[in-house]
Amino acid sequence: METPKERIRLQKFLSQAEICSRRAAEKLIAEGAVTVNGRAAELGQSVVPGEDDVRLNGKKISLEPRSRIVLMMNKPRGCVCTNLDPHDARTVFELIPPEYAAHKLFCVGRLDKDSEGLLLITNDGDLANRIIHPSSDILKRYEVTLNRDFDPALAPRLLKGAKLKNENGEDEFLRFANVIRFPDPRKLEIHLKQGRKREIRRLLELFGFFVKSLVRFQIGGLILKKMPPGDCRKLSRKEIDSIFASGGNASATRSRLKKPNRAALRGEKASARKLSVHKKISPREALREREAEKRRERAKEKARRIREAERERAAENTPPTKEISGKKPRERAENPWRTSLRPHRKNARTRNYASRRRK
């Protein structure tokens, strides 16, 4: 039993045949330039490739099998991500290799004219939708340089997001997935999981920052490495699959920007590594530690006794106080131990006994 062939929309059929984009195909259908099986086509109509006769201005269009093309480019500053610019600006399609110029290619997500970095160009619409759609949870990482020092207290507000108006006057909610600070207070690493137009610049401008440079260096698990600005090459199957590997997010160790020391972010020196409190020691080491502790206690006690003896000697050699405000100084009794008796420990019994012997 033969399986029924898949039906696709007419505008997608024209796009896959590399005639025009889907939006341009809708205009051609509305103008009556497209016919299906001899009848004028309608918007939303579906066709079966290989069975239905589709013609554009009388010329038959067939959907030939084609190979998927996915290019990776290090977009330079000053180029726009569009196939045709009315202002005659330089486009990224002028930089692709000549062997791919005849194919109908488009950008997977865009970078504005002043931004640079990793850009994907393909002819596979399904692949582009998988990468762009937020449900894929693919992370994009950017290196941003600001015009002034960044205030760390603003990081939670950037993660929380804000609602702004777009060019059409519609409300858009902009937010960052993560903000990482670096020792340079003007540099940030920003993570996004959605693709709003000029999202990073608009949200930072809301808090009073101007973006001097913006470089995208990672999409999912694909990282921009060793490619000069303007260079473009085709991705392998393994590299395409790496975009979606582990949710499309590469580990921190593979990131081009190394994670800084937390103490350096606070402007402090990195402290020495602390040993665990529950460190296991051998019985011999424990005995050595106890003996060392006893030696330290004996040294402290000896130093304390020396200080007390010095204070006693200083008190004995203190001169008599002068008379103040008419009062006579207190007379000191003669110390019998300095004149007649040998010095030994002073106590009440010995002192009384010595005084009786003198008498």
Q: What is the pLDDT of residues 48-76, one digit of tens each?
A: 887 888 888 888 887 776 678 899 999 99
Residue-wise pLDDT for 189-206, tens only, equals 999 988 788 899 999 999
Which pLDDT does position 320 carry in this prediction?
57
- Positive or negative: CA dihedral 344, 345, 350, 355: positive
State residue 260's pLDDT score. 45
DSSP 216-270: EEEETTEE--S--TT-EEEPPHHHHHHHHGGGG---GGGSSSPPPPHHHHTT-PP
**Per-residue pLDDT for 128 more than 50?**
yes
Band of pLDDT at residue 335, cut at 50, 70 and 90: low
Q: Which of 41-45, 83-87, 133-137, 290-294 has the highest mean pLDDT?
A: 290-294
Q: What is the pLDDT of residue 275?
A: 44
Q: What is the pLDDT of residue 258?
A: 44
Who contacts 26 (Cβ-Cβ below 8 Å, separation ≥6)? 11, 43
- Catalytic annotation, pick one of 52, 88, 112, 231: 112
The token duo for 97 is 């290799």
Confidence of residue 168 (pLDDT cuts 50, 70, 90): confident
> What percent of the chain has a predicted confidence (pLDDT) above 90?
22
33 phi, psi to nearest 5 deg: -85, -10
pLDDT at residue 256, rounded to an integer: 43
Identify which of 166-175, 201-210, 328-337 has the greatest average pLDDT: 201-210
Mean residue pLDDT of the chain comes to 78
Distance from chain centroid for Cα 251: 11
Least confident of 74-78, 103-107, 114-118, 158-162: 103-107
**Active-site residue flag, 52:** no
How far apart CA 306 and CA 67 sit, in angstroms, is 93
| Dihedral of alpha carbons 31, 36, 41, 42, sign | negative
* pLDDT tens track for 84-109: 766 667 888 888 888 887 778 888 88
Whether residue 352 is predicted with pLDDT greater than 60 in this model: the reply is: no
The reported pTM is: 0.59
pLDDT at residue number 326: 54
CA 51, CA 28: separation in Å to the nearest integer? 21
Q: How confident is the model at residue 120 (pLDDT cuts 50, 70, 90)?
A: very high
Report the b/e string of 92-108 with b at 16+ CB within 10 A: bbebbeeeeeeeebbbb
